[in-house]
C-alpha cells in the first residue's frame, strides 16, 4: 500500500513539473507546443490592444412559398448562451440539432456559400414543415469596439434561392 501512494505522488509531481517548461519558453520568446495539457499563454496574446475588438452576429432566415420569413435557430442557443436576448417577434423554426451541431454540419458551410449544403439543409428542414422553405437569407452585423465606442456595421445580405 505504501508503494502505491509513493508511486501516485511521483506521477502527480511529474505532471506538475511538466508545466514548468512552457513557462520558461515564453521568456525565450518561443511559444510552447509540446505540452498539450497546459497552454498557459493560449489567451495571453488574443487581443494585442492595437486592433479593435470585433464580433459578428449572424442570422439565417428561411423564406417560405407564401413569403413568410422564419428565423432558423437551434433550441439550446437562446436559453443557455444568451440570457439577455430579447424574445423575437418573428416566428422561429427550431431545428433538431443543438447549436454546435447545427453550426458545424450546416450553417458554417452555408455561410461559406456551399450550394450542396444549402440544398441538403433546406431539404432536411422541409421534412418537418407544412409550408416549405424555398430560399435562405443570410444577414450579419459586425460590432466593433474601439476607443471611439461601439460601432455597428450592417453587412451585405445574401439570398440563396433553392431550385425545386
Helix (H) or strand (E) holding 6: helix 2-17
In terms of DSSP bridges, do strands 158-161 and 53-64 run parallel, antiparallel, or are they unpaired? Answer: unpaired
pTM of the model: 0.59
Instruction: Give one DSSP letter per residue of 14-68, joined into a string.
Output: HHHHTTHHHHHHHHTT----S-TT--TTTTTTS--SSS-EEEEEEEEEEEETT--
Per-residue pLDDT of the chain (164 residues; tens, 9 = 90+): 688 889 999 999 988 887 777 667 666 666 655 555 555 555 555 666 677 888 888 888 999 989 888 888 766 444 445 555 555 555 555 566 777 777 888 888 988 888 888 888 888 888 878 888 899 999 999 998 877 888 899 999 999 998 76
Amino acid at each position: 500500500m505504501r508503494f502505491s501512494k509513493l508511486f501516485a505522488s511521483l506521477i502527480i509531481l511529474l505532471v506538475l513539473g511538466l508545466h514548468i517548461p512552457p513557462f520558461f519558453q515564453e521568456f525565450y520568446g518561443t511559444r510552447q507546443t509540446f505540452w498539450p495539457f497546459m497552454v498557459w499563454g493560449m489567451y495571453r496574446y488574443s487581443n494585442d490592444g492595437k486592433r479593435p475588438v470585433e464580433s459578428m452576429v449572424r442570422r439565417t432566415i428561411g423564406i417560405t412559398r407564401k413569403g413568410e420569413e422564419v428565423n432558423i435557430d437551434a433550441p439550446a442557443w437562446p436559453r443557455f448562451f444568451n440570457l439577455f436576448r430579447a424574445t423575437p417577434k418573428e416566428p422561429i423554426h427550431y431545428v433538431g440539432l443543438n447549436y454546435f451541431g447545427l453550426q458545424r454540419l450546416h450553417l458554417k458551410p452555408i455561410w461559406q456559400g456551399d450550394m450542396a449544403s444549402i440544398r441538403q439543409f433546406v431539404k432536411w428542414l422541409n421534412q418537418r414543415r407544412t409550408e416549405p422553405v424555398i430560399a435562405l437569407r443570410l444577414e450579419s452585423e459586425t460590432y466593433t469596439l474601439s476607443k471611439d465606442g461601439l460601432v455597428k456595421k450592417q453587412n451585405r445580405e445574401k439570398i440563396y434561392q433553392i431550385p425545386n
